[in-house]
């Protein structure tokens, strides 16, 4: 077979679902692929991801160290986007490129975990996801949330922006972001754009010390809109646990 020929792969419904989800998730690792595509085993997932890569529906790069442990990461290839009928946007990574560090991928995989929890994992009884949006562009000057979700419980619809903090922004940068969110809420643009009366911003941080710092900054400006938790709290109790805090006070709350 010539080097430029593609291996023949007949796309199944599961494959198309994976390709469409990648248009939202941007990058994906094997474990997240198992969740969104419904692969029944790691062996089957590995084989199918390899086949889709060889057939140029997916692009693959590696996250890790050359000669050490590496993690395969997949993004949408132009042929995959065309087959799934979705836009082609992908991180600029070369096929089989090895990256020792990749902050974009690390951050996006964390965002994807929230997305998978809301869309592909069991929800509490009576709760359903209405929609999820990712943002490639700012919703207003200097504000690009990591995601947006509308969740219904009974007749009530709750709207949330998602902020996955990695502990790299200064307190001054965070203060400016809080002010921007607050101004956006007060402007009426949110209601006009999203069709909901109000929103909260869910902030997930990497540590309790970071949580304390961001809550302190936020409390100096507002006790509204924002809810904070840590990745460890979510890991221990889930997104739906009593893990969220307002900017002020020690009490913890559930989302719904």
Whether residue 84 lies inside any domain: the answer is: yes
- The confidence score (pLDDT) of residue 9 equals 86
Whether residue 5 lies inside any domain: the answer is: no
- The confidence score (pLDDT) of residue 256 equals 85
d(CA 114, CA 228): 14
Query: Nearest CA to 209 among 230, 225, 223, 224?
Result: 230
pTM for this one? 0.90
Is residue 243 helix, strand or coil? coil
Whether residue 243 lies inside any domain: the answer is: no
Whether residue 250 lies inside any domain: the answer is: no
Whether residue 160 lies inside any domain: the answer is: yes
**In angstroms, how far is CA 155 from the centroid of its own chain?**
26
Q: What is the pLDDT of residues 63-74, one digit of tens each?
A: 875 556 788 999
Task: Please identify which residue in the block is written with the tokens 């949110």.
Answer: 190
One domain, residues 95 and 30: yes
One domain, residues 163 and 215: yes
Query: Nearest CA to 71 among 35, 18, 15, 32?
Result: 32
- The confidence score (pLDDT) of residue 104 equals 84
- The confidence score (pLDDT) of residue 64 equals 74
One domain, residues 72 and 169: no
Whether residue 6 lies inside any domain: the answer is: no
- The confidence score (pLDDT) of residue 2 equals 47
Q: What is the pLDDT of residues 38-57, one digit of tens each?
A: 998 999 999 999 999 999 99
Across the chain, which has 256 residues, the per-10-residue mean pLDDT values are 63 96 95 94 95 96 72 94 89 64 86 96 95 93 95 94 95 96 94 95 98 97 96 96 97 94
Eight-class DSSP state of 206? S
One domain, residues 95 and 126: no
Instruction: With beta carbons less than 8 A apart as the criterion, state whether 227 and 254 touch.
Output: no
One domain, residues 129 and 201: yes
One domain, residues 148 and 231: yes
One domain, residues 29 and 127: no
Whether residue 112 lies inside any domain: the answer is: no
Whether residue 8 lies inside any domain: the answer is: no
d(CA 50, CA 110): 23
- The confidence score (pLDDT) of residue 66 equals 54
- What CATH number did the domain enclosing 71 receive? 1.10.10.10
One domain, residues 77 and 146: no
**H helices within 66-131, ranges in order?**
78-84, 103-119
**DSSP string of 7-58?**
PP----HHHHHHHHHHHHHSEEEHHHHHHHHT-SSHHHHHHHHHHHHHTTSE
Look up the domain containing 126 and give its range. Answer: 122-237
Considering its fold, how many domains does the chain have in total? Answer: 2
One domain, residues 62 and 138: no
């Amino acid at each position: 077979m010539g080097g430029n020929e593609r291996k023949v792969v007949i796309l199944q419904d599961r494959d198309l679902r994976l390709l469409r989800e990648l248009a939202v998730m941007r990058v994906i690792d094997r474990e997240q692929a198992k969740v969104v595509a419904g692969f029944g085993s790691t062996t089957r997932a590995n084989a199918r991801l390899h086949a889709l890569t060889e057939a140029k529906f997916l692009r693959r790069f590696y996250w890790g160290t050359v000669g050490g442990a590496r993690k395969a990461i997949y993004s949408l290839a132009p042929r995959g986007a065309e087959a799934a009928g979705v836009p082609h946007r992908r991180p600029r990574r070369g096929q089989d490129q090895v990256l020792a560090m990749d902050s974009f991928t690390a951050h996006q995989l964390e965002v994807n975990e929230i997305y998978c929890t809301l869309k592909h994992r069991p929800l509490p009884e009576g709760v359903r996801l209405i929609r999820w949006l990712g943002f490639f562009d700012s919703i207003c000057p200097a504000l690009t949330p990591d995601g947006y979700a509308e969740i219904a419980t009974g007749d009530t619809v709750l709207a949330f922006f998602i902020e996955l903090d990695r502990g790299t922004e200064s307190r001054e940068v965070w203060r400016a972001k809080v002010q921007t969110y607050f101004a956006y809420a007060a402007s009426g643009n949110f209601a006009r754009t999203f069709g909901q009366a109000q929103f909260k911003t869910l902030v997930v941080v990497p540590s309790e010390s970071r949580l304390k710092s961001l809550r302190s900054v936020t409390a100096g400006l507002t006790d509204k809109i924002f809810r904070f938790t840590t990745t460890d709290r979510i890991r221990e109790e889930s997104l739906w646990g009593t893990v969220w805090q307002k900017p002020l006070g020690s009490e913890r709350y559930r989302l719904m």
